Structure 1
Amino acid sequence: MRTKETTAFKVPKHLRKSTQTWVKSVVSDFEMEEHHFKLLLAAAESWDRVCAAREVIDRDGMTYTDRFGQPKARPEIGIERDNKVLLARLLRELALDGVDAPDAPRPPRTADYGSRR
């Protein structure tokens, strides 16, 4: 994406104020097509979910006791984890740091899953 001078994209009100500010700053710094903006919004929503899950975890802890008296991981743990992974993928796809995603170096695979030797 290239640097941009003006924008016509509208930032949704359902995002947190700090996330809205971030989206506006990215939109003002980069030239985007509609599909880039949609990826950016998905990343912003994912970040808001990470923050919301983290607030619940900080308030209520990482586990709860089920009806049988057994400790269980809070559902927010999975929500936070899943949205962090999604956020990283979306940000990589947007390539806001100027590195093209397909040509960007990727870490080597540590295991060769599914292959037979």
Structure 2
Amino acid sequence: MKTGDNQPKPPAHLRAATKRWFKSVLDEYSLEGHHIRLLTLAAEAWDQSQTAREVLDKDGLTFLDRFGQPKERPECGILQNARIAFARLVRELALDVDVPDAPRSARTRDYGSRA
């Protein structure tokens, strides 16, 4: 779906703060369709990391298994994987640079081969 200024709307399942971030990226960068899909994946990864962080803050990093041995919570892996995914997607979109003065294009195929 498009907003009034012809930008895609953030997915409905994202958190409010993540929706605001999604919109701010679209305002600052000129993204093509495949970039918007990557942006959506980055936003979902961020929300997953936040959900895992909330569980870990509440329940701790470990639990006791049926033998009374401490085990790492599954949310630890979810948090780590989501953080890595978010960082890689932001890097792929080249969003990890200073805020531009004017909208700019996302990273292109020749990004690494520029002289």
Whole-Å separation in 2 of the counterparts to 1:20 and 1:76:
23
1:13 matched to which residue of 2? Answer: 12
Using the TM superposition, give the Cα deviation of residue 38 of structure 1 relative to its aligned residue in structure 2, in angstroms: 0.4
User: Which gives a bigger RCO, structure 1 or 2 (Cα 8 Å, sep 6+)?
Assistant: 2
Task: Give the ranges of 4+ consecutive aligned residues of structure 1 lying more than 6 Å apart after TM superposition.
Answer: none
3-state SS of paired residue (1:36): helix
What RMSD in Å do the two structures reach over aligned CA positions? 1.9
Identity of aligned pairs, percent?
Answer: 48
Segments of structure 1 that go 5 or more residues without pairing to the other structure are 1-5, 105-117
Structure showing greater Rg: 1
What pairs with 1:26-37 in structure 2 (closer than 5 Å)? 26-37=25-36
1:103 maps onto 2:112 in alignment: yes
- Tell me the matched-pair count: 99
Structure 2 unaligned residues grouped into runs of 5+: 99-105
1:58 corresponding residue in structure 2: 57
* Alignment TM-score, normalising by the size of structure 2: 0.79
How far the C-alpha of 1:58 sits from its partner, in A, is 0.2
